[in-house]
Amino acid sequence: MIDLRSDTVTKPSPAMREAMARAEVGDDVYGEDPTVNRLQERGAALVGKKAALFVPSGTLGNQLCLRALAEPGREVIVERHSHIVRYEQGAAGALAGVQLHWVNGTQGLITAEQVEAAIRPKDAYSIQSALLCIENTHNAGGGTVYPLSTIQAIRTVASAHGVLMHMDGARLFNAVVSSGVSATDYARHFETVTFCLSKGLGAPAGSLIATDDLGLLERLRRFRRMYGGAMRQAGILAAAGLYALEHNIQRLAEDHANARRLATLLQQIPAVSINPGAVATNILFFDVHSSRLSMPDFVAALKQEGLLLSAVGGKTCRAVTHLDVSADAIQRAGDIVARVLRR
């Protein structure tokens, strides 16, 4: 089965499992897991921050940052199709007690002008803007990458208004590998940065939150405990994360090449519309025009032929490349789509 539903479906490789089996562990609630500590140091250094905190998921990472950086009753500016808006079960309201202020991005990316317009006036009756979140790469926007200059311009506006910044960098290293901008150059503009080990980096679970503010780190640690995200001998998971950071960052370029390869194959199919030029990293969206197959039927027919994709709308599909799909598998995936639509 060729599974292009998500880059979360990767399974730990034998070498990663070996590292997990050998991991030295301790009770991380006491700060005594040496492997977690090493992962936190390594992760912080990779993004040029002083410290990092290991959390079970990217969702928890985002939510702890919202909780720690914005008081309940404040407003948080986000792009309208961001993960925080669509896929975190309303946690921003339910748990952090903040109100989300949606801005319409272009393929998920927002501009400094939009941020300026979204920040509330500092008067006695307006809700106050506390925080701005940027998603890089932007998942629903098609794996899109922020130009560094856009982030710099947004930071200037945010700072002028005393608004803090968080980067949901679930796929930050896809952005880094694609743009050539270093993780540190992106991260320096944010109070907090999260990134997932469990997406394209191939670990089974875990994310890191990085920051320069050690007081904030302690607040994040307390909220992690409150939210039930503090773990004990988590070094077994952290070892997978360390392995991922060491071996699986540069190779993300292969996933990007495979996504472009797939886009080129799909473009040749008459019933498919896709813009290969819009494929920035490892996520691609394409539309299917078939009078014969509904979207659920299309996805089911692909599955019969050994290909899994996600239907994300009336005629739109999403495919995500990752370290468990080879260039060969991509060629076969393209053939399967062509065959199913030709029948």
Ligand X SMILES: *Cc1c(COP(=O)(O)O)cnc(C)c1O
Binding site for ligand X (CB under 6 A): 57-59, 62, 83, 135, 139, 168, 170, 196, 198-199, 207
Q: How far is the CB of 133 from ligand X (least distance, A)?
A: 10
Q: Decide whether 89 or 159 has the Cβ nearer to ligand X.
A: 89
The answer to whether 302 and 308 have CB atoms below 8 angstroms apart is yes
Q: Decide whether 10 or 198 has the Cβ nearer to ligand X.
A: 198
- 193: tokens are 């940065």
In Å, how far from its chain's centre is CA 62? 10
| Residue 186 CB coordination number (10 Å) | 24
Q: Which of 326, 178, 239, 310 is nearest to 34 (CA)?
A: 239
Q: How far is the CB of 223 from ligand X (least distance, A)?
A: 16
Residue given tokens 């006695």 in the structure block: 124
Q: How far is the CB of 136 from ligand X (least distance, A)?
A: 9
Amino acid at the residue 313: G
Q: Decide whether 200 or 334 has the Cβ nearer to ligand X.
A: 200
Q: Decide whether 249 or 272 has the Cβ nearer to ligand X.
A: 249
Q: How far is the CB of 105 from ligand X (least distance, A)?
A: 13
Q: How far is the CB of 81 from ligand X (least distance, A)?
A: 10
Helix (H, G, I), strand (E, B) or coil at 147: coil
The answer to whether 192 and 18 have CB atoms below 8 angstroms apart is no
Q: Decide whether 187 or 340 has the Cβ nearer to ligand X.
A: 187
| Residue 149 CB coordination number (10 Å) | 10
- 92: tokens are 């921003």
